[in-house]
Structure 1
Amino acid sequence: MQNYTDGYTRTCGLIGNPVKHTLSPLIHNALAEMTGVNLVYVPFEVEHAAVQDAVKGAKALDILGLNVTIPHKSAVIPFLDDIDPLAKGIGAVNTLVRTPEGGFKGYNTDMTGLYRAIREEGVDLSGEAVVILGAGGVARPAAFISAGKGARKVYILNRTFEKAEVVAEEVNKAVYELGREDKCTEDGLSAAGEATDYEKIIVPMKLEDYKKLYELEDRFIVLQCTSVGLFPDVNSTVIEDEEFYTHIIAAMDMIYRPLETKFLKMAKAAGAKIVSGLKMLLYQGVDAFELWNSDLDVKISKEQADEVYKSLVMEVTGAANIILEGFMGCGKTTVSEILADKLDIELIDTDEVIVDTEKRSINDIFAREGEQYFRDLETELLRTIVEDHWRETVISLGGGLPMREENRELLRRAGKVVYLRTSPETVFDRIKDDTTRPLLQTEDPLARIKELQDQRREKYEQAADIIIDTDALTPEEIADEIIEQLGL
C-alpha cells in the first residue's frame, strides 16, 4: 500500500521501546488508504528518559496523534494536557490526540478495543461472570472494562495471590470513582452507587483454586491475559484441565502469536466461542484512528475492519503472500485463481510474468537460451518479490522453481508455501493432451512424470509449510483447505 504525501499530510505514529516489529503501521496506513484520509503512520523508538522530549517534539512537529506502547503507557501521563476518564481510571494511556490548544489528551483504546473486538464477535459481558487469567498490565484494563460494561462478577486468577488482590482493589476503586464522577454516560460505563457495590465485583483468587469457580459460576467468559502460550512456547496454557474449558461460554487470548493458542484451541474444542488477541490489536487501532480523524467524521465499518484483519492475519502467520508449488498439472493455476478471488487479493503466475517480461513463450526460451537461463529468470523474479516486500498476493510457481536451494530460501522469506501434492497418474490424466510442456515431449510422458516427481518431491517438501494431497479434492475444496489451515 502506498500513501501519497504532501504539505497537508497528517502524521501519526507510535512511541515505545522496542517498536521495530509493530503491526500498527499496517493497520493505520491501510485505514488511511481505505478512507481516503491523507495520513501516514510511522513508529518512533523512544528511550524511557526521553518520553517528555518525545511529547514536546511531537507538539513542535505538529504530529496529529500518537500511540503509546510499553514501557511508556503510564510514564507519558504527566506530560499530557488532559486525560480521558477511562484512561485515568486505569492509570495508563495508549493513544494521544491533539487538543484545540495544541497539546495532547490521553485515551486508552486498549480497553475500548478489547470490548469492541468481543462485541463484534457477538460476546456480551453484561450480566455475565468473567474470569481473567493473570494479574499483569493487560489484566487491569480487562478487569476495568469488564466491570464497566456490566459484568456481574470478575474473577482475577493469578499464581501470586497478592498481585491479584492489588489489581482487584485498584480496579474496584477506579470503577467506583469513575461512576461517582458521573462520567459514565459518554463512556458507556455503568454508574456506580455505593463503594461497597463495586468492592464485590472484582474478586481475586489463587490460580490453583480455579476449581472453586465451579461452585460459584456454572458458565463464564475467560480473558487470557498472561504470556503463557506465546511463541515459541505454543504447547502451553495456564490451565491444562479440560474440565475448566467445559464451563467457558467465550474465550479471548490477548496473545496473537500464534493466532490460535493452545488456550483457544482447548476452549474451541469444548464448544466455546473464541476471539484472537489480534482482534483487540485491530480495534484498539481502529478506535485510535477514529479519534485522530474525528474532525473528518471518519468511522470504520466492520467490512473495512475485516479487510485490515485479513492483512494482519497474513502478516502474523507469515503468509504475507500465499505461494503454491507443485508438479505441473497439480492444479496450481485454478486453485490460485479461486484463492485470490475468495481472499480478494492479487494473483501472479511466475511463468506468466516471465513470458510477459521476455515477450516469448517458455518453449521458445528453453529452445533458444536453455533451461539454465529460464531458472535464472525465476530466481531474479523471486528476489524482486522479497526485496520489494510484496504483500497480499497469491503466487503460483513454475513446477521447477523450488529445486534451487537459493529459491527455497527466498520462498521462506516471501510467504507461506503450500505444496499441492498429486500422484503421477492424476498428473498424466490432466495434461496428457497438453503440447506446451517442453519437459514432457517424450515417447513415454507418464514415465517422465514419475521420474521428474521422484527428483522433485523432496525439494517440494523442504520448501513447503503446508502439504495438501489433491487427488480426491476439487480445486474449490483445495482452496478452502488452504484458507482453513492458514487461519484466514
Structure 2
Amino acid sequence: MAKDIKGTTRVCGLIGNPVHHTMSPAIHNTLNELTDTDMVYVPFEVKENDVEAAIRGALALDLLGLNVTIPHKSAVIPHLKEIDDVAGRIGAVNTLVRTADGTGFKGYNTDYTGLLRSLQEKNTNLAGESVVILGAGGVARPAAFLCANEGAKEIFVLNRTFERAEQLCSDVNTYAGKELAIPMELSAYKELPVDRKYICLQMTQVGLYPDSDKAVIEDPEFYKMVKIGFDAVYRPLTTRFLQYCRDAGAVCVSGLKMLLYQGVDAYEKWNNITVSPKECEFVYGKLLSELLEGRNIVLTGFMGSGKSSVGKELCRILGYEMIDTDAEIEKEQNTSISQIFDTLGEEAFRDMETDYVKRLSEGQRSRTLLSVGGGLPVREENRRYLHEFGAVIFLKATPETVYDRVKDDDSRPLLRAEDVLERIKEIQEQRRPVYSAAADIEIDTDSKSLNDIASEIIEMLL
C-alpha cells in the first residue's frame, strides 16, 4: 500500500554519488510502516562539488535528517554545526541529525554502531581479541576505531597500499595512546603470527557483485587462522571470503546485518524512538527480499520432507505469499486429494497438477513461494513449468525421517500399504533422480531447525 503523504510528513534521505543502487529506502520506509511514523525516505544524487549546497538546501527545505555515503563521508564534515566524538575521531560521517535548535546538523558514524551490533548478534566480543582488518578505506576506519574502543588486544591492518594502512594505524594508536594497530601490506599476510586465531573483518569492495568469484585473499591457509569472519560486502550474501571462512570452520557474519543496524541506528536518532528486535528482524527479511529481486521460490520433495513448514518459515522471513498446489487443487475441485484419487484416479489428479502449474508459469507473479505435491515433478512438462516460475529447491529427508513425520497421516493415498516405511523407501528411490533433475538447489533437512533450513536456502539463492 502506498504511503499516505500529508502536509505533516517529514523527509529524510541519502546523499552520495552514485545512490540509485541503494537499499536504504527499503530499511527506512519499511520502518515508517512498522512504527506508523509520518516520514518518507528518498535518495539524492549529489556531485562532489555540490556537497555544501546540498547541506544548505537540506536545512532550507527542513529535511529531518540525512544519510551520507561515498564519496561524501568526509566532505560533509566542514559543513556541520556539531560532530559526535566517535565520528570526529574516525574522520567520517554517515548520518546527519538536526541540532536541538534546528539551525544545523550534527554528524554521527552509524557504520561504527552497525558493525558493533552485527558482531554482538553473533555473541562476538572484541575485548582481548586479535583482529585482522582487510582494507584501510572508508568502512575500515570505523572498524579499526571500534576494535580499539572495545578493547582488542592487537589490530593488524592489511592493505594493498601500505601508506594508507600506516596512516589509519597511526590515527588509531594516537587515539588509543599505545601501539595497538600494526600496518602491513596485503601481500604480507603470511607474516601474521600463526600462534593465534583471529577475528577477520573484510572491509574492501573485493567480491562485490558482479565480481563475486573473487576474495581479497585467495589462500585457504590464511582462513585456517580465522575464527570469526565478517564481510562488509553483502551482494552476494555469502561472498567468496565468507565461503572460505565457512570452509575453515569459522563463524560468518554478513555485511547485510551491518547495513541493517547502521540504518536502524540512524532511524532511531531521527525519530527519537527505539526499534524493537522483532521490527529489526522484519526489516532484515525485507532486505533479503530486495536482494532476491522478487524471485519466486519453488519447494519440491517427497511427502514429509518439510515443504509446508519450511515454506511458512521462508514466507515469515521474506514476506512472501505461499501457495500449496495440493491445497489450491482441493479448493478448485471442492474436494480432498484422497477423494480425487478414489473417484477420478491418480492420472486425473496429475492432469490437474499440470494444468495448475502451467497457469502459474504463464502469470506475472513475484515474491511467491510455491510448495508442490510430491509427485508433481515426475512429469517433464511440470518440471519445465516450475523452472519458468522460479528457483526450484529440492528438500531432502531420509525415509526414516519421512516415516516419523507421516506415519499417523491416513490422508495420503500413496502410503496405503502394510509396511509404510518400505513403501516410502520404494517411492523415494523412484523419485529421487526426478527431484534432483528438477532442482536448482538441493538441501538436506534432517536434524535441522526450520530457521536453519530457511537461512541456508536464502544464502544459496543469493
TM-score with structure 1 setting the length:
0.72
Is 1:251–1:275's contact at 8 Å kept on the other side of the alignment?
yes
Match of 1:145 in 2: 146
Is 1:336–1:394's contact at 8 Å kept on the other side of the alignment?
no
Cα distance change on mapping 1:41 and 1:165 into 2, 3 Å: same
Q: Shift of residue 57 of structure 1? A: 2.7
Secondary structure at the counterpart of residue 19 of structure 1 = coil
Distance in 2, Cα, partners of 1:371 & 1:131:
54
Q: Shift of residue 15 of structure 1? A: 1.5
Match of 2:360 in 1: 378
Counterpart of 2:360, as a letter, is E
Match of 2:18 in 1: 18
Match of 2:103 in 1: 102
Q: Does 1:156 align with 2:128?
A: no
Secondary structure at the counterpart of residue 214 of structure 1 = coil
The count of residues paired between Structure 1 and Structure 2 equals 422
Distance in 1, Cα, partners of 2:385 & 2:180:
58
Match of 1:218 in 2: 196
Deviations 1:318-339 (A, max 9, x none): 274552265xx95599713542
Distance in 2, Cα, partners of 1:222 & 1:476:
28
Match of 2:122 in 1: 121
Secondary structure at the counterpart of residue 271 of structure 1 = coil
Deviations 1:218-258 (A, max 9, x none): 23221111222333433432333334333323221111122
Cα distance change on mapping 1:325 and 1:221 into 2, 3 Å: closer
Cα distance change on mapping 1:54 and 1:132 into 2, 3 Å: same
Distance in 1, Cα, partners of 2:115 & 2:42:
23
Q: Does 1:49 align with 2:49?
A: yes
Secondary structure at the counterpart of residue 251 of structure 1 = strand
Counterpart of 1:303, as a letter, is K
Secondary structure at the counterpart of residue 158 of structure 2 = strand
Cα distance change on mapping 1:409 and 1:346 into 2, 3 Å: closer
Deviations 1:18-57 (A, max 9, x none): 2222111111122222223222222222222332332233
Q: Shift of residue 116 of structure 1? A: 1.8
Q: Does 1:208 align with 2:187?
A: yes
Q: Shift of residue 59 of structure 1? A: 2.1
Match of 1:324 in 2: 298
Is 2:96–2:106's contact at 8 Å kept on the other side of the alignment?
yes
Secondary structure at the counterpart of residue 218 of structure 2 = coil
1:71-470 equivalences in 2 (<5 Å): 71-99=71-99, 100-173=101-174, 175=175, 197-198=177-178, 200-214=179-193, 218-294=196-272, 298-316=273-291, 318=292, 320=294, 322-324=296-298, 330-331=302-303, 335-341=307-313, 344=316, 345-349=319-323, 377-379=359-361, 382-383=363-364, 385-386=365-366, 390=367, 393-396=368-371, 411=389, 416-419=391-394, 465-467=440-442
Greater mean deviation of Cα atoms: 282-291 or 346-355: 346-355
Match of 2:344 in 1: none
Cα distance change on mapping 1:304 and 1:461 into 2, 3 Å: same
Deviations 1:124-161 (A, max 9, x none): 11222221112222222211221122222211112332
Q: Shift of residue 308 of structure 1? A: 2.0
Which runs of 5 or more residues in structure 2 are unaligned?
341-347, 398-402, 404-410, 417-426
Q: Does 1:6 align with 2:1?
A: no
Q: Shift of residue 109 of structure 1? A: 0.6
Deviations 1:178-217 (A, max 9, x none): xxxxxxxxxxxxxx5xxxx33x1221112233233216x6
Counterpart of 2:68, as a letter, is V
Distance in 1, Cα, partners of 2:37 & 2:76:
27
Distance in 2, Cα, partners of 1:64 & 1:37:
13
Is 2:165–2:184's contact at 8 Å kept on the other side of the alignment?
yes
Is 2:115–2:258's contact at 8 Å kept on the other side of the alignment?
yes
1:470-485 equivalences in 2 (<5 Å): 481=453, 483-485=455-457
Distance in 2, Cα, partners of 1:477 & 1:126:
31
Secondary structure at the counterpart of residue 290 of structure 1 = helix
Greater mean deviation of Cα atoms: 231-240 or 123-132: 231-240
Q: Shift of residue 60 of structure 1? A: 2.7
Distance in 2, Cα, partners of 1:13 & 1:98:
13
Counterpart of 1:129, as a letter, is S
Distance in 1, Cα, partners of 2:122 & 2:166:
30
Distance in 2, Cα, partners of 1:378 & 1:207:
51
Distance in 1, Cα, partners of 2:119 & 2:145:
15
- What root-mean-square deviation, in Å, do the aligned CA atoms of Structure 1 and Structure 2 show? 4.2
Is 2:305–2:396's contact at 8 Å kept on the other side of the alignment?
no
Distance in 2, Cα, partners of 1:477 & 1:301:
24
Which runs of 5 or more residues in structure 1 are unaligned?
176-191, 435-448
Distance in 2, Cα, partners of 1:310 & 1:136:
29
Secondary structure at the counterpart of residue 11 of structure 2 = strand
Q: Shift of residue 479 of structure 1? A: 8.8
Distance in 1, Cα, partners of 2:355 & 2:215:
51
Match of 1:445 in 2: none
